[in-house]
Structure 1
Amino acid sequence: MPNTIQSYLSDLKGKTVAVIGIGVSNTPLIKLLLRAGIKVTACDKARRADFGGLAEELESLGAELRLGPDYLKGIDQDVIFRTPGLRPDVPELLEAQARGSVITSEMEVFFQVCPCHLLAVTGSDGKTTTTTIIAGLLKEAGYHTFLGGNIGHPLLPDVADMEPDDWAVLELSSFQLMTMDRSPEIAVVTNLAPNHLDVHKSMEEYIDAKKNIFLHQGQGGKLVLNFDNEITRSFAPLARGQVIPFSRREALSQGVFVRDGAIWSATAEGEREVLPLDGILLPGLHNVENYMAAIAAVEGLVPDDLIRRFAASFQGVAHRIELVRTLDGVRYYNDSIASSPSRTIAGLNSFQEKVILIAGGYDKHIPFDVLGPEVIAHVKQLLLTGDTADKICDAVRGCPGYQGQPPISIYEDLEAAVQAAHSMAQPGDVVLLSPACASFDRYKNFAERGETFKKYVYGLD
């Protein structure tokens, strides 16, 4: 099996290749294959008009485009790259596989040919921030570091620039992990809660996909697990290598934990204080957990003083409790990344005061029951919009502790909800967009939703 990008591309010459999905992760892959002289059919359910000049650009490089509702019909190329959002067991892929097609993905090939150290992060919440912190720490420590994966940057086109001592730091989704048969040198699982049940057949399938981040490690592998989460804690006996737990709730004889207002690390050499909690610029207990996971992952690679300097200045990632604006004493925060109830609960717990919460969006078939008590405890006004507005409303009103507080209002769209929040907010209030749902009912992704929210907030006067 080819183990360098050059040998892999050479092996593809003379074969036909299909790439399913002309999006952020696969467009650079398509261009890489075309420039290597490989015949590529680029497939996407979107129509030609949706791609603007990209369709012409890919055709000028030699791609054949198959677009629209029948984009999978008769797919039979020798090698088929699956987009992460497409289940591997759709009938068209199974039929192609039965005829001899090899089904793979950009990430699977990257793991096959990556020449440097691999560190990967998955989980239901906190993946992007934890991945970004880890990459930042390694970079500050002097390592040549590549950041990519589900975070939005494909790394396969960067392989030629990687050296053995470099680090590739990846965020991996359950969809990317479903068919993975390799695991990184260091694996991190931040937490697990119900998510993506609109695509996964069950919670069990979702959990099993996440396990692939570590199941293929050898004895030299390292697995970082959240021991406060019952599901991720249960992964420990399955690990072949070293398990490094982290816990905010209990002191650990080995691992990373919180004590006396600081994050501590316990190793075979003893205990040491690594990072005071008041030295973390990012708000919220969930960001304490993100730093704990990162500290466990870079143990032995990054000095503690560098971790402290980094935490004091790192302002976070866009769309993750991002302060947009302070207007008339009211702070407006964009937490559009919160596409599940557990993520919104973490956002609510980041503020000492009760917030004006804007929530609702695409229905991923995740129960909202857990959201009810947290909304009652942390929200002064609940403003709902999107496809799930009625479901969230019913979940809160049906909560045993609900006695009419907070008041709940439903709005036609996000703009109307922002205007309503502005009208009711008083100096000292916090307005928080934290939808508890995906964005696909109105927007192409969470980033577009967040940017739209920011536009509306900047337009207030």
Structure 2
Amino acid sequence: MLLSHARILVLGLGASGEAATALCASRGWPVTVTDIRDRDDVASALTRLAGLPIFYCLGQAPPSCADFDLIVRSPGVPRDLPVLHEAHMHGIPVWSEIELGAAVCPCPITAITGTNGKSTTTVLIRDLMRAAGRTALVAGNIGHPFTSSASLMQDDDVAVIEVSASQLENCHAFAPRTAVLTNVRREHMDVYTWEQYVAAKTRIVRNHTPDHATIANLDDPVCRQIAESSPGRAIFFSTRGPLPAGREGVFLERGQVAAIYDGDQVTVCSRRELQVPGSLPNIMAMMAVGLREGVPVKAIRDVATSYPGREHVIEHVATAAGVDYYNDSKATNPWSTLHALDAFPDRPIVLITGGKDDKEADVTPLAATLTGRVRHLITLGQTGPRTIAAARAHGMTAITETTSLAEAISQAVKVAEPGDVVLFSPGANSKDMFPDHRTRGSNFKQQVRLLCGAGRSTLLPAG
């Protein structure tokens, strides 16, 4: 499609819709943006877009698609809007903001998707590219719209973008030079069937050729299948031991992180050199990207061993009376909480979990692992009663139900013993008690430090 001659309709004036609209208007492409909110509700966006040649349709349903050649759908826009059905019936393409950004991006793209671990892996790959002397942009689902910077990049830069299922859903020609699949678990079942969710994730490799690469978690059956079915080069990572014969990638063997690539095997670092519990799969994915990009092993090792973690992701907050307190507020589904538990295989855990479930999440896999892994379960929030019921069904008896985060922390301090980990990993979103996971995590840290005395934590800002 020749975008300079296309009449474009952008659905939604959130962050990605605003960025997409600005890109189109700045290039002189005819663009209309629509949002059901009225002008007062989107006033800040209108101020930032002031002076650009944009048509607005605000405070009402979107216009008919008959007058447009392309529709750009923002991630938060419902899939069942009549205008989207109408577009499908008339053969009018519907793009995501990621697809639009890729159409104007002049440099190679490394795209990361999966259910959990996307943001951490994205940040690690950015750090690696910068350590290798490349200019690296981070964008996408991590909080920075791709279209806001894609056209500003140079040919020898690299775009490192996190992409969600909803963003991939409306990608058609998108073909990242390197695709990374962290894991694919049952998530967003309020929006997709399992088959639809897997199909959306698979779109990241749908346009791959032998010149492309898919870096995938060998330990995840869906990721493995996607990589093996892709025409691109398959590079794997595994925390469970050596790779199968004939495979290349990164693996853990006898406490050492090693890699096989282009027929050569090297030891990159020891697992003990990594600073952040639970970061190994993300670091391995980063290492695989480094091998793909020809980054020297020393630079890969330096990034891996110096990575201090991200705020609200299995973040050490304090140590008091022999107990370590960790903030994992970014865990917004039960799979994230399972991952956090795996970060402490040899430590007794007091788990604080619970929040609001808006994705029809299945807590059964989490509940099934609690007995023998968690010494005491403390719940809060909307999902608390369901988690308690599932945990009891699997034999868990040491359970305390609370009604606030402050009460949960107070109970954790009471029951924790020297050598324990108190892990705050909600496994749900925050909106029954807090506006977002950052506020929730900051509240947890503040209260822990008040109760336990100032702790020491080394952080990277989220995003």
Quickly name the TM-score band, shorter chain normalised: 0.7 to 0.9
SS of residue matched to 2:242: coil
Corresponding residue of 1:263: 257
Structural mapping, 1:39-58, within 5 Å: 41-44=32-35, 53-54=44-45, 56-58=47-49
Structural mapping, 1:29-428, within 5 Å: 29-36=20-27, 41-44=32-35, 53-54=44-45, 56-58=47-49, 71-72=61-62, 78=68, 79-98=70-89, 102-181=93-172, 182-200=174-192, 202-252=193-243, 253=245, 254-255=247-248, 256-284=250-278, 287-300=279-292, 301-326=294-319, 330-351=323-344, 352-363=346-357, 364-399=359-394, 401-402=395-396, 404=397, 406-411=398-403, 413-426=404-417, 428=419
SS of residue matched to 1:212: helix
| Shift in CA distance, 410/49, structure 1 to aligned 2, threshold 3 Å | farther
Separation (CA, whole Å) in 2 of partners of 1:21 and 1:421: 43
Separation (CA, whole Å) in 2 of partners of 1:323 and 1:41: 47
Q: Is the 8 A contact 1:120 1:187 kept in 2?
A: yes
CA RMSD of aligned residues (A): 2.8
The code of the aligned residue for 1:408 comes to T
Corresponding residue of 2:458: none
Q: Deviations over 1:278-328 (max 9, x none)?
A: 1211212xx212122221222152111112211221112222111234456
How far did residue 87 of structure 1 move? 4.5
| Shift in CA distance, 244/73, structure 1 to aligned 2, threshold 3 Å | same
Corresponding residue of 1:439: 430
Is the deviation greater in 43-52 or in 295-304?
43-52
Q: Deviations over 1:166-185 (max 9, x none)?
A: 21111111111112222211
Aligned residue pair count: 444
Separation (CA, whole Å) in 2 of partners of 1:426 and 1:63: 61
| Shift in CA distance, 108/443, structure 1 to aligned 2, threshold 3 Å | farther
| Shift in CA distance, 334/18, structure 1 to aligned 2, threshold 3 Å | farther
The code of the aligned residue for 2:223 comes to T
Percent identical pairs in the alignment equals 34
Corresponding residue of 1:5: none
SS of residue matched to 1:356: strand
| Shift in CA distance, 386/219, structure 1 to aligned 2, threshold 3 Å | same
The code of the aligned residue for 1:307 comes to I
Separation (CA, whole Å) in 1 of partners of 2:91 and 2:231: 33
Separation (CA, whole Å) in 1 of partners of 2:12 and 2:430: 19
Q: Is the 8 A contact 1:46 1:67 kept in 2?
A: yes
Corresponding residue of 2:461: none
The code of the aligned residue for 2:341 comes to L
Q: Deviations over 1:112-156 (max 9, x none)?
A: 221111111111121111121112111101112111111111222
Unaligned runs of 5+ in 2: 454-463
Separation (CA, whole Å) in 1 of partners of 2:209 and 2:432: 42
Q: Deviations over 1:426-458 (max 9, x none)?
A: 555433221112334444543343334334445
Unaligned runs of 5+ in 1: 3-7
Is the deviation greater in 427-436 or in 49-58?
49-58
| Shift in CA distance, 441/430, structure 1 to aligned 2, threshold 3 Å | same
Q: TM-score w.r.t. structure 1 length?
A: 0.86
Q: Is the 8 A contact 2:353 2:379 kept in 1?
A: yes
Separation (CA, whole Å) in 1 of partners of 2:410 and 2:22: 43
Separation (CA, whole Å) in 2 of partners of 1:52 and 1:426: 52
How far did residue 373 of structure 1 move? 2.9
| Shift in CA distance, 47/383, structure 1 to aligned 2, threshold 3 Å | farther
Separation (CA, whole Å) in 2 of partners of 1:96 and 1:83: 15
How far did residue 221 of structure 1 move? 1.1
Corresponding residue of 2:19: 28
Is the deviation greater in 310-319 or in 80-89?
80-89
Is the deviation greater in 219-228 or in 413-422?
413-422
How far did residue 189 of structure 1 move? 0.9
Q: Deviations over 1:247-276 (max 9, x none)?
A: 222312332211121111123433221221
The code of the aligned residue for 1:267 comes to Y
Q: Is the 8 A contact 2:290 2:300 kept in 1?
A: no
SS of residue matched to 1:187: strand
Is the deviation greater in 221-230 or in 35-44?
35-44
Q: Deviations over 1:214-243 (max 9, x none)?
A: 121012111112121122222244111211
Q: Is the 8 A contact 2:96 2:169 kept in 1?
A: no
Is the deviation greater in 252-261 or in 163-172?
252-261
Separation (CA, whole Å) in 1 of partners of 2:56 and 2:407: 39
| Shift in CA distance, 387/45, structure 1 to aligned 2, threshold 3 Å | farther
Q: Is the 8 A contact 2:111 2:178 kept in 1?
A: yes
The code of the aligned residue for 1:311 comes to A
Separation (CA, whole Å) in 2 of partners of 1:167 and 1:115: 9
| Shift in CA distance, 381/21, structure 1 to aligned 2, threshold 3 Å | farther
Q: Is the 8 A contact 2:96 2:168 kept in 1?
A: no
Separation (CA, whole Å) in 2 of partners of 1:52 and 1:117: 35
How far did residue 99 of structure 1 move? 5.6
Q: TM-score w.r.t. structure 2 length?
A: 0.86
How far did residue 355 of structure 1 move? 2.4
Q: Deviations over 1:80-134 (max 9, x none)?
A: 3211233444333212444675422210111222111111111112111112111
| Shift in CA distance, 59/143, structure 1 to aligned 2, threshold 3 Å | closer
Is the deviation greater in 96-105 or in 246-255?
96-105
Q: Is the 8 A contact 1:380 1:407 kept in 2?
A: no
| Shift in CA distance, 56/293, structure 1 to aligned 2, threshold 3 Å | closer
Q: Is the 8 A contact 1:279 1:308 kept in 2?
A: no
Separation (CA, whole Å) in 1 of partners of 2:10 and 2:407: 40
| Shift in CA distance, 233/37, structure 1 to aligned 2, threshold 3 Å | closer
